[in-house]
Amino acid sequence: MTSRIAKRPTTLADGRELIYFDDADTTLGEERSVDSRVLDPRPATATMRQDILTGEWVSVAAARQNRVFLPPADQDPLAPQTPQNPSEVPALYDVAVFENRSPSFGPALAGSDNSPTGLDDLADLGLGRIRSSIGRCEVVCFSPDHEGSFGTQTPSRARTVIEAWADRTEALSALDGVQQVFPFENRGEAIGVTLLHPHGQIYSYPYITPKTQRTLDAIDRTSPDMFQRILDFERAGDRVVLSGEHWTAFVPFAARWPIEVHMLPHRQIPDFAATSDDERDELATMYLKLLRGIDAIYDSPTPYIAAWHQAPVNTARDTFRLHLQLTSPRRAADKLKYLAGSESAMGAWIADVTPEAAAENIRKATERA
């Protein structure tokens, strides 16, 4: 933890962990209000069911059906608590991270007696296989404001969020049974967002995700330096959107979505915990510039998923590189790309825009922003 950004851990009324991260230029004091709510015990940890056709695991988290849907500002569950709003965060904050109240992956509570015993156990294939969804899901509040996104934050606040990502990646990677840690931001109702509050999430999985497994297979089939080769290939082409001393953002050669940008660090880094202060400092400003450019493409904010892919906790640390994959289904000012028959049923994508044209469009928008 850099000395400029303070970390203040505490707990919520039901025992869930809450951590405040104070900006380097914070105006807040050290004291925080105590969560005095009377809360029900945590719901039972979800269960996973294996799809024998693919070997993939599906977490069935029925408690998520009860989550809040687009509440008014005075009932925002991520805003600081008031007498009228018994929210999840007791005090005013800069950045706050807490365990999700209804997680897709949760702790081994009493009764969670069917935990995975390791990757070999999960790799076995059979009908009717069930395991507890052991892991952790955290909410990362970027701001106490009711509306916004990562891209609407100040550079100082963006730097605090990146510090929180690094801190939580290290902590969550150390939890028993966690195999992969995934920070991400869903932005916009078109993506399915149920809260307008500027926030992201961090999922900690008990398995290596299918997308990452396919990437690991590609590394095995090509070369250990595959990510460096991708970076060199893209930097030599005409799809680069932004480039700095430590990071480069580009539209990938085989982009699937109408808006798709990847960002790679210039050296082999497995996850946020391994980034340097200089890399985090540059990322804070470059990432804001990218997101504001994405928003400037049209006259209204762009829905997107910002997915930060990190290396598995226990393998491929020297070959899988931390990277951003930002995607949006927006193919025109008033049109979305829907994943219909070919994409949804067969996983066979048809792109509507050439990656080179998309890169040029994003570059111009970034300059305007």
Q: How many CA atoms lie within 13 A of 340 on its CB side?
A: 5
Distance (Å, whole) CA 98 – CA 13: 12
Strand partners, 51: none
Return the structure tokens found at 284: 């804070």
Distance (Å, whole) CA 340 – CA 348: 10
Containing 270, the helix (H) or strand (E) segment is none
Distance (Å, whole) CA 70 – CA 76: 8
Residue 307: Cβ within 10 Å count: 17
Q: Which of 199, 246, 262, 309 is catalytic?
A: 199
Per the CB < 8 A criterion, the answer to whether 268 and 228 are in contact is yes
Exposure string of 248-261, with b = 16+ CB inside 10 Å and e = fewer, is bbbbbeebebbbbb
Residue 345: Cβ within 10 Å count: 9
Residue 199 among the catalytic residues = yes
Distance (Å, whole) CA 132 – CA 258: 37
Q: How many CA atoms lie within 13 A of 229 on its CB side?
A: 9
Which residue is it, tokens 């080769």? 229
Distance (Å, whole) CA 279 – CA 49: 39
Strand partners, 136: 204
> With helix as H, strand as E and coil as C, how does 38-88 read?
CCCCCCCCCEEEECCCCCCEEEECHHHHHCCCCCCHHHCCCCECECCECCC
Which residue is it, tokens 């500027």? 198
Distance (Å, whole) CA 81 – CA 91: 6
R_g of the chain, CA atoms, integer Å? 21
Candidates 235, 247, 221; CA nearest to 323 is: 247
What are the residue numbers of the active site?
A: 199
